[in-house]
Structure 1
């Protein structure tokens, strides 16, 4: 199991997609399809100058800036994630493409057509601490600016204490909190609670919060939006109610009383070492791994433990089983047998024999992987 999963998936989505508005290229408004296809060609080729010229040229021709953001740049970024997941782009290419799309957003934001008059209140847009997928949050920030809001865009990986200090200093109407990586949800919970303790409501968005925002509601967010348009529309309808002190506490998930989440998190390194050692004893081929292969396998095992811990925090089976089927699809696309996963789950279960909820999740994960319809076949690897 020597994959490239360092780009930890948000829930079951590819890395650094734009989950705040990810319409596929072929479903975008018809007049934007040629522009989106041209931008994709430039992004795939790593041609930053052409990409930014396309965006600025579209604005010169009268394209609506919000439309360019959400019907051109966002779906192109979603396609970047899809191509990475299908093994048609390397991690380096995916990072380069994301950087180019970020530059395209910057080029749009400085164009005269995108300069809006501030006539509404103040909003803070930030990513959860540990969340480095900043492009979805930036897209929302730019849409809100276009609609006349004063926006404080704080970017990726904002520590809770720094965010709270900012809220005390600026007093915004709300915080738009973005997270694409499901393993950051426990931190998102603490962030939501801390923001609400200052009297500022929280609108959550991003793939990490699950289908239909199920985890946003579970973790007590004041509102949820599935994309940048609906987020901006929701905000425009009227201010969210200010939470009262004591509105929510971190002990509002009663299943956490069994301490399984805490103990799995604290013993993460020990668990990874034990499972890796077990794999070496059970499978002679693993003993012949190079140092790099061992390092990558350990990182993959750590990711499994992280998703297990998050599923324990949320008491949600689908999050863990969904991650495993996503991982199996990624392995398959890279020519690595998905059968490499179940032995790791068995060994992890042996280490967690005194953790009934964790063992249940591991059994359900193994059952899902055994389903012949759960893991898709490998896609073609050549760029069309």
Structure 2
């Protein structure tokens, strides 16, 4: 969130954190209801308490201090708390106004993290705007069909993973093609919305309050020719490197895993679960490489690699082995200059970011 939390919400967020990570739905709902009844407005509860708890959940998981099962349980509790607040609210929502036209709030196809979009939807409802919340993994075809059926005046599209930028691009251009502007938000679109602009979205918002303000000001209807001209903003796609890497994902992962086993014999003793996790990590690297190829931005790839290194080191896994994996990918993609530049830039950023290899860490412990 770019806005500062309201005074007095810190202690409440701590208490909600404990209830959420304990999986105690009833305690969590009681906490927020008591705070609301005590005078704390619902928008503050949603954005400065529940969203703050979820941000902490993600940070603690990344640092290796919260098991994935507890992360999932905490997220489920947060969703239940939001639902409880919504069910307590009068059906009419807020005061509304002449500018409060119907909007559709959806997640990019493939996006499982629906809670940020749900928060946006609830804030808009609080402000009196009719909202159709379509949830996670909304296919572009279903989204466009919904627009035809309901006549929504705008789409708010949420995405957390840059790997979904191609799918987001397809959704943006499809909505614009039927005359509906698109406001995007979420980490997928970059900290300053750089990828939102690159993909031709009609607006970008870093948080729910900003999204509401943008809608209040009004989103301009897109130029009917925008969908046809959108590809002009990404001329680098003409080299087909993105397409090749995306289609070669499985082969690249297999080749890289085999190469790592040759260079790090300890990997040969991995259990089936360890091999599966290593393959998943390699698949994520390839996915982020393809996303960086799509928008032609080395920073997207390098940022992901450094984040991955932090997660691995928090789990006492040797992050320097990722550098070797990048080298092996480079050997497989030696005929693709843009991919090679991204791999080289990523390797340099990663080398600068990680600590020197720790002799106390056994690669076989990954």
- Partner in structure 1 of residue 362 of structure 2: none
State the distance in 1 between where 2:282 and 2:265 align. Answer: 18
Correspondence for 2:338 among 327, 335, 357: 357
Distance in 1, matches of 2:12 and 2:206, equals 24
Q: CA deviation at 1:186?
A: 0.7
> 2: distance between equivalents of 1:296 and 1:53?
39
Please state how far the C-alpha of 1:113 moved relative to its aligned partner: 6.7
Give distance in 2, aligned partners of 1:165 and 1:246.
20
Aligned: 1:220 with 2:200: yes
The answer to whether 1:127 aligns with 2:107 is: yes
- SS in structure 2 of the partner of residue 87 of structure 1: coil
> Distance between the aligned counterparts of 1:264 and 1:188, measured in 2?
19
Q: Which moved more, 1:265-274 or 1:113-122?
A: 113-122
> Does the 8 Å CA contact 1:280/1:287 hold for their aligned counterparts?
yes
| Alpha-carbon displacement from aligned partner over 1:4-45 (angstroms, at most 9, x marks no partner) | xxxxxxxxxxxxxxxxx376xxx5222222221211121122
Correspondence 1:337 to 2:318:
yes
Q: Deviations over 1:114-149 (max 9, x none)?
A: 843554210100000000010000000000000000
The CA distance in 1 between the partners of 2:8 and 2:347, in whole Å, is 46
TM-score between both structures, scaled by the size of structure 2: 0.93
Aligned length: 351
CA drift of 1:248 comes to 2.8
| Correspondence for 2:25 | 48
Question: Which stretches of structure 1, 4 residues or longer, exceed 4 Å deviation after superposition?
Answer: none
Judge conservation of contact 1:203–1:223 (CA < 8 Å) in 2: yes
SS in 2 for 1:157: coil
- Any unmatched runs of 5+ in structure 2? 357-366
Cα-to-partner distance string for 1:26-78 (whole Å, 9 max, x where unaligned): x5222222221211121122211100111112222222111110111111110
Counterpart for residue 350 of structure 2: 369
Q: Distance in 1 between matches of 2:14 and 2:264?
A: 46
Q: Counterparts of 1:214 and 1:31 in 2: how far apart (Å)?
A: 34
Q: 2:160 corresponds to which residue?
A: 180
CA distance in structure 2 between the aligned counterparts of 1:83 and 1:138, rounded to whole angstroms: 22
RCO comparison, higher one (Cα < 8 Å, 6+): 1
In structure 1, C-alpha distance between the alignment counterparts of 2:90 and 2:52, rounded to whole Å:
21
More helix by share: 2
TM-score, normalization by structure 1: 0.89
1:266 corresponds in structure 2 to 247
Asked if the contact 1:65/1:113 (under 8 Å) is kept, the reply is no
- Supply the distance in 1 between the matched residues of 2:14 and 2:26 (Cα, whole angstroms): 16
Report SS of the residue matched to 2:137: strand
1:158 is paired with a residue whose SS is coil
CA deviation profile, 1:169-201 (whole Å, cap 9, x unmatched): 111111000000110001101110001001000
- Give 1:222-371 correspondences, 5 Å limit: 222-237=202-217, 239-249=218-228, 250-252=230-232, 253-371=234-352
Distance in 1, Cα, partners of 2:174 & 2:302: 30
Counterpart of 1:61 in structure 2 is 38
Is the 8 Å Cα contact of residues 161 and 188 (structure 2) preserved in structure 1? yes
Whole-angstrom distance in 2 between the partners of 1:376 and 1:265: 31
Q: Which moved more, 1:266-275 or 1:107-116?
A: 107-116
